[in-house]
Amino acid sequence: MKETLEQIKASALAALDATKDLAELDTWRVKYLGKKGELTALLKQMGGLSAEERPIMGQLANEVREALTEGLEARKEAIEAEALNARLAEEVLDVTIPGSPLTLGHQHPMYLVLDEIKDIFVGMGFECLDGPEVELAEYNFDRLNAEEGHPSRDWSDTFYFDTDSRVMLRSQTSPMQIRAMETRQLPIRIISPGRVYRKDEVDATHSPMFHQVEGLVVDKGITMADLKGTLNTVVETLYGKGTKTRFRPHHFPFTEPSCEMDVQCHKCGGVGCPTCKFEGWIELLGAGMVHPKVLEGCGIDTEVYSGWAFGMGLERTAMRRFKIADLRLIFENDVRFLTQF
């Protein structure tokens, strides 16, 4: 029996060393120390021993049990310590490792220009309005005095949603003039930037979607001099003091008189170069005095009030401002391009 006890002890301790985790350790405990374990089974046989042998074997059995219990505790601590070390190693935080760089976005050149334009107008007391891109032809054309049959209303130019040409993607920001006059108290001073849509093929200067900024002033005693004064101030702020402008007669259905405003070429100073297509001037925007029919259509008394309006292309303004040669670069949003501004 003594040998059996020694054997149990030896094999138990060997098996104990081989346990790898707490689950295995528990299996080990049941096998060697449990109620149905090997040691208990042996102790049950003690009844068959002689009176002299019994206390000796009893003591020995207790020693073995103690040794196994101690071993169990020690192994448990060791396993727990190993698990903790493994976790610590896994979760180690090395505060000396340089952080992974955050790639920040970059403001788009066109929005840089738009922000400047907004700043200029807001500084002069204008309000900045947002408007719908899905617009009624009534607002985009009719109420802007573009009668049926006007070339811009053609299906080949305009994205209509319905067969009777009532709902469309706006082709200009000018309908915001009507929306402003419908919703604002007089006097009105607004700009309204946003997307507009026309059926144009994509090339270096065209896109079926582009951006405009509309401007509208309606007040008592407004004249063409106010228009010129305001727009000259805007141009000098955008392009530098002393930048020359010129106003050429033009036609728009919703203004009378109408004009286009050119800026003297910043590249050649008006002599003529490739940038200005050898004209010395670059077209910047359309403008004019708001047509009385348009004002009256919004219930404004033209005996008392008058107004001026303008519409400018935003991509073109940004392209000129940053000397960007191809419109497509504006829309492709390649970060290598964007981060240059």
Q: Which residues bind ligand DAH (CB under 6 A)?
A: 172, 174, 214, 252, 255, 286-288, 309-311
DSSP letter for each residue of 268-334: TTTS--GGGTTSSEEEEEEEEEEPHHHHHHTT--TTTEEEEEEEEEHHHHHHHHHT---HHHHHH--
Residue closer to ligand DAH (CB basis): 72 or 287: 287
For residue 271, the minimal CB distance to ligand DAH (Å) is: 28
Residue closer to ligand DAH (CB basis): 194 or 280: 194
Contact 175, 131 (CB under 8 A): yes
- H-run or E-run covering 42: helix 38-43
Provide the CA 271 distance to its chain's centre, in angstroms. Answer: 43
For residue 286, the minimal CB distance to ligand DAH (Å) is: 3
Contact 222, 243 (CB under 8 A): no
Residue closer to ligand DAH (CB basis): 174 or 245: 174
CA angle 138, 183, 121 (to 5 degrees): 100
For residue 310, the minimal CB distance to ligand DAH (Å) is: 5
Residue closer to ligand DAH (CB basis): 57 or 176: 176
Gap between the Cα atoms of 72 and 13, Å rounded: 9
Residue closer to ligand DAH (CB basis): 2 or 206: 206
For residue 259, the minimal CB distance to ligand DAH (Å) is: 8
Residue closer to ligand DAH (CB basis): 72 or 213: 213
Gap between the Cα atoms of 106 and 175, Å rounded: 31
For residue 142, the minimal CB distance to ligand DAH (Å) is: 15
DSSP 143: G
Dihedral (CA of 146, 147, 152, 153) sign: positive
For residue 135, the minimal CB distance to ligand DAH (Å) is: 12
For residue 309, the minimal CB distance to ligand DAH (Å) is: 3
28, 19, 135, 32: which is closest to 83 by C-alpha? Answer: 19
Residue closer to ligand DAH (CB basis): 210 or 239: 210
Q: Which residue is nearest to ligand DAH (CB)?
A: 311
Gap between the Cα atoms of 218 and 224, Å rounded: 12
